[in-house]
Amino acid sequence: MKAKRSLQDGLILEFDTALRSIFGGANAHRSIPEVVGNSGAVLDAREREHAAGLMRVNHVGEVCAQALYQAQKLVARNAEIQDMLEHSAREEMDHLAWCETRLQELGSHTSYLNPIWYAGSFAIGLAAGLAGDKWSLGFVAETEKQVELHLSSHLNTLPAEDQRSRAIVDQMRMDEIEHGQEAIQAGGTILPTVLKRVMGTLSKVMTSTAYKI
């Protein structure tokens, strides 16, 4: 049985998570995905820059995920849903750490706008959570669906030789599918089409900006 955490301990841990999400130093619970095939391929400057841009986008996505999950956990009505969100958030923290590691390996950096991405996502997550658990879970499911599509597109455009990045992205994609399915099974409602489109538009703004900055 999981020991109940004090309010003070909980706040400290959540604050630590926020700092690690924004400024770096995320801790992974799982090892970085292993590479199948040639892991020592050398990328040219253009390939390295493109791979770094995509991994920076993925890192920003995980910064946003931490903010969303933190906000939604804060206002979730059901303890089981809180536990589910916390489990998903831990796996998203793995993704955050993996992307951060890969960006360092590529000689690049995380987005300079991470504080903005985090703050905006926290506000959105809070609004989704306050709408009720069914809407909150529906938001999780739709978010994960859109992230899955982004990751699939990255697998199509990452340099074929960059097996290190591809292994990370593929594992992330599988985890996102699982998180979305869990949210629907837990009672998440299907979001209105107009809301899905708004989410898609915001996502495009984020990805196009994070690729460069």
- The pair of structure tokens assigned to 46 is 């253009």
Annotated binding site for Fe cation: 62, 92, 95, 144, 176, 179
pLDDT score for 169? 94
Largest CA distance in the chain: 51
The first and second tokens of residue 132, run together, are: 């009720």
pLDDT, tens digit, for every residue of 27-49?
888 899 987 665 566 788 899 99
Q: What is the pLDDT of residue 1?
A: 46
Q: How do the domains of the chain map onto residue ranges?
A: 42-210
For 91-137, what is each residue's pLDDT tens digit? 889 999 999 999 999 999 999 999 999 888 888 888 888 888 899 89
pLDDT, residue 66, reads 87
Rounded Cα gap, residues 110 and 131, in angstroms: 32
Statement: residue 204 has pLDDT above 90: no
Distance between CA atoms of residues 197 and 192, nearest Å: 9
| Whether the predicted pLDDT of 51 surpasses 90 | yes
The mean pLDDT value of the chain amounts to 85
For the annotated binding site, the residues are: 62, 92, 95, 144, 176, 179
- Class of the 42-210 domain? mainly alpha
Residue 83, amino acid: D
The SS3 of residue 209 is helix
High-pLDDT (> 90) share of the chain, %: 33
Mind listing the pLDDT tens digit for each residue in 130-171?
888 899 899 889 999 999 999 999 999 999 889 999 999 999
* Spatial separation of the C-alpha atoms in residues 70 and 67, rounded to whole Å: 5
Q: What is the pLDDT of residue 7?
A: 46
